[in-house]
Amino acid sequence: MDDLKAKYLGLISGAGSEAALEELRVQAVGKKGEISLQMRELGKMTPEERQVMGPKLNALKNEINSALAAKKAALSDAALDERLKAEWLDVTLPVRPQRQGSIHPVSQVWEECTAIFADMGFAVAEGPQVETDWYNFDALNIPGHHPARAEMDTFYMHRAEGDDLPPHVLRTHTSPVQIRSMEATGAPTRIICPGRVYRADYDQTHTPMFHQVEGLAIDRDISMANLKWVLEEFFSAYFGTKVKTRFRASHFPFTEPSAEVDIQCSWENGTVKVGEGDGWLEVLGSGMVHPKVLQAGGIDPNEWQGFAFGMGIDRIAMLKYGIPDLRAFFDSDLRWLRHYGFSALQVPTIRGGV
Ligand code: PHE
């Protein structure tokens, strides 16, 4: 037994790997291992012999098992040490440069508009970009033969033969959301609707898709004076400086009276500065909601009245952030986006305390 013990303890301490160690385990204390075979011999011994040999064999088996366990732990520690020596990481290295996306100027201005009008009590409304011609035109007092209908350069949705659903268009303005909001909330109401609109037009100042923000306020005694105040508050907050407005009489089928609104600006060496000088720049259409439009929205024009306006988001983005070409907004040129984009953490620059 002393020989067995000396043999296996020697082999175990010399084992070079966990695999070799496992082989030794099988060889010594496995089912058919040398020590296990010895234990089977106990059966053939006299009770006296067994009383001496039994405990001795058990003790040997235990000793071998603990030697195996200890060696196994030592081997795996050694393996870890090897790995730790071979693999290393310099945690002081700077990370690989990673490009960060930016907020598109349109998104930024969209958010700024929403924040400013929210301060004045306007909720955000939405409507579909594929609109029925009733919401886009008829309900807004633009009947089939009306010249405005042709002037809008409308995209009509394809119709399959035999399709007798009402014609659908890509909305040419955000004004159909006026009707949808009136239907949804009735009067009084105060909403803005920022969104995409579409017209078949393309040159330096027109793209087939662009953005508008619609405004609508309906109550018992809303007037043009309220409209003017709201717009002047808006522009002053948005441009961060007092901005004068100029109302010019105009015509829209859905407002009466109607006005186009200019904001005060100066032109110097080809650059525009809003809120100073004696130049004017047209930025929106507006007016008092036409009684027929209130009616189409299910609101009694004898009880309620309101103002509406529609403003180009891209336009006012160009003005505030000095962006010269409208078409670049939609080119997805990464260099342009990096230059004119905003950090996601950048808080919109709007004047507080409206
Ligand atoms: N919908 C008009 C346009 O797209 C703008 C407008 C909106 C005018 C609301 C008056 C009232 O030009």
Ligand 1 centre to CA of 273 (Å) is: 25
Percentage of the chain beyond pLDDT 90 is: 68
pLDDT of residue 292: 98
Judge contact between 80 and 304, C-beta under 8 A.
no
Considering 27, 59, 86, which residue would you say is the last residue of a domain?
86
Residue 309 Cβ contacting ligand 1 at under 6 Å: yes
Residue 176 and residue 229 in one domain: yes
Rounded to the nearest angstrom, the distance between the alpha carbon of 21 and the centre of ligand 1 is 85
Pocket test of ligand 1: the residue of 137, 140, 172, 173 to mutate, having most ligand atoms within 8 Å of its CB, is 173
pLDDT-based confidence at 353, cuts 50/70/90? very low
How many A from CA of 338 to the centre of ligand 1? 32
Q: State mean pLDDT over 120-149.
A: 93
Ligand 1 closest atom vs CA 174: 1
Is ligand 1 within 6 A of the CB of residue 175?
Answer: yes
Range scoring the smallest mean pLDDT among 64-73, 223-232, 345-354: 345-354
In a domain, 100, yes or no: no
pLDDT value, residue 354: 40
Q: Pick the residue with more confidence: 247 or 160?
A: 247
Region of 269 please: left (phi>0), alpha (psi -120 to 50) or beta. Answer: left
Q: Is pLDDT at 277 greater than 80 in this prediction?
A: yes
Number of domains comprising the chain: 2
Same-domain status, 118 and 57: no
Question: In terms of pLDDT, which residue wins out, 145 or 187?
Answer: 187
Task: Please indicate, yes or no, if residue 300 is contained in any of the structural domains.
Answer: yes
Q: Using 50, 70 and 90 to split pLDDT, how confident is the model at 163?
A: confident
Domain match, 259 and 220 both: yes
CA of 140, closest atom in ligand 1: 1
Ligand 1 contact via 310 beta carbon (within 6 Å): yes
State residue 148's pLDDT score. 74
Which atom number of ligand 1 is nearest to the Cα of residue 173? 4
Same domain membership, residue 17 and residue 149? no
Statement to judge: residues 184 and 66 lie in one domain: no
Q: For residue 347, is it within any domain?
A: no
Nearest-atom index, ligand 1, CA of 311: 5
Residue 352 lies in a domain: no
Structural domain containing residue 22: 2-86
Please tell me which residue, 346 or 121, carries the higher pLDDT value: 121
Q: Are residues 308 and 250 in the same domain?
A: yes
The alpha carbon of 163 is separated from its chain's Cα centroid by a whole number of angstroms, namely: 37
Nearest CA residue ID for atom 12, ligand 1: 285
Predicted confidence (pLDDT) at residue 352 exceeds the cutoff of 60: no
Q: What is the DSSP string of 47-61?
A: HHHHHHHHHHHHHHH
Task: Give dist(CA 141, CA 301) in Å, integer.
Answer: 14
Q: Any idea which residue has 């960060």 for tokens? A: 100
Q: What is the mean pLDDT of residues 180-193?
A: 97
Find, among 222, 224, 124, the residue nearest to 174 by Cα: 124
Identify the helix (H) or strand (E) that includes residue 271. strand 271-274
Identify whether residues 17 and 142 lie together within a single domain: no
Residues 26 and 150 in one domain: no
| Together in a domain, 81 and 109 | no
Helix H segments across the chain?
2-14, 18-29, 34-41, 47-86, 105-119, 133-136, 147-151, 176-185, 224-239, 291-296, 313-321, 334-340
pLDDT, average across residues 62-73: 92
Closest CA to 18 of 59, 69, 91: 69
Domain check: are 170 and 305 in the same one? yes
Cα(175) to centroid(ligand 1), Å: 6
349 band by pLDDT with thresholds 50, 70 and 90: low
Looking at per-residue confidence, does 183 or 46 come out higher? 183
In this prediction, residue 348 has a pLDDT band, given cuts at 50, 70 and 90, of low
Higher pLDDT residue, 151 or 85?
A: 85
pLDDT, residue 350, reads 65
How much is the average pLDDT of 110-137? 96
CA distances from 69 to 13, 26, 294 (A): 11, 13, 88
Report the alpha-carbon distance of residue 210 to residue 230 in Å, rounded. Answer: 23
Ligand 1 centroid to 255 CA: how many Å? 8
Residue 257 binned pLDDT confidence (cut-offs 50, 70, 90): very high
Q: Which atom of ligand 1 is nearest to the CA of 216?
A: 9
Report the distance separating Cα 238 and Cα 115, nearest Å. Answer: 10
* Rounded mean pLDDT, 110-125: 96
136 Cβ below 6 A of ligand 1 = no
Cα maximum dimension of the chain: 125
Question: By the 8 A CB rule, do 255 and 240 touch?
Answer: no
